Chains A and B, each alone.
Chain A
Amino acid sequence: MNVVELSAKCKHLRCDIINMLADAASGHPGGSLSVVELMAATYYTKMRVNPKEPNDPKRDRFVLSKGHAAPCYYAILGDLGFFDKAEFKNFRQLHSMLQGHPDAKRVPGIDASTGSLGQGVSIAVGMALGAKAQKSDINVYSILGDGELQEGQVWEACIAAANYKLDNLTIMIDNNGLQIDGTNDEVMSLGNLNAKFTSFGFEVIELEDGHDLESIIAALNVKVSGKPKCIIAHTIKGKCVSFMENQVCWHGKAPCEAERELALKELRDE
Chain B
Amino acid sequence: MSEMKAIRVAYGEALAELGEKNDKVVVLDADLAHATMTATFADKFPKRFFNAGIAEANMVSMSAGLSTMGLIPFCSTFAIFGAGRAYEQVRNSVAYPHFNVKLAMTHAGITLGEDGGSHQAIEDIALMRVIPGMTVVVPCDASETRRAVFAVSEMDGPVYLRLARLPSHVFEGEMPFEIGKANVLKEGTDVAVFACGIMVKAALDAAEALENQGISAAVINMHTIKPIDAECVMKYAKQCGKIVTVEEHSVIGGLGDAVASVVIGKGDFAFKKIGVQDRFGQSGKPDALLAEYGLTVPQIIEDIKSII
Q: Which A residues lie at the B interface, using CB under 8 A?
A: 57, 61, 63, 103-105, 111-113, 115-116, 118-120, 122-131, 133-134, 136, 152-153, 156-157, 159-160, 163-164
Name the residue of chain A whose CB is nearest to the CB of B47.
A133
B62 touches which of A113, A118, A129, A131 (Cβ 8 Å): A129
* Assembly CA distance A123 to B66 (angstroms): 8
Q: Which residues of the partner chain B approach A125 to less than 8 Å between Cβ atoms?
A: 58, 61-62, 65
Instruction: Indicate if B277 sits at the interface (CB-CB under 8 A).
Output: no
Q: With A122-B58, A133-B71 in contact, do A113 and B65 touch (Cβ < 8 Å)?
A: no
Q: Which residues of B contact A61 (CB under 8 A)?
A: 68
Given contacts A105-B96, A123-B68, 14 further A-B contacts (CB under 8 A): A103-B97, A112-B97, A116-B88, A116-B93, A120-B61, A123-B62, A126-B66, A127-B65, A129-B50, A130-B65, A133-B26, A133-B66, A134-B70, A156-B57
Interface size of B in residues (CB-CB distance below 8 Å):
29
Give chain B interface residues in 73-123, CB to chain A under 8 Å: 73, 88-89, 92-93, 96-98
CA A238 – CA B112 in complex, angstroms?
Answer: 52
Contact with A along B209-248 (1 / 0, CB 8 A): 0000000000000000000000000000000000000000
**Chain A interface secondary structure, helix, strand, loop or mixed?**
helix
| A122 with B92: CB separation less than 8 A | no
Interface pairs A-B: 5 shortest CB-CB: A126-B65, A130-B69, A122-B61, A156-B58, A126-B62
Interchain CB contact under 8 A, B88 and A111: no
Bound: A156/B93 CA distance, A: 15
**Residue among A112, A115, A131 having the largest count of chain B Cβ atoms under 10 Å:** A112
What residues on B are CB-neighbors of A160 within 8 Å? 52-53, 55, 58, 62
What are 24 pairs between A and B in contact, CB < 8 Å?
A: A61-B68, A104-B68, A105-B96, A105-B98, A119-B57, A123-B61, A123-B65, A123-B68, A124-B65, A126-B64, A127-B65, A129-B50, A130-B66, A130-B71, A133-B47, A133-B71, A134-B71, A153-B58, A153-B61, A157-B58, A157-B62, A159-B55, A160-B52, A160-B62
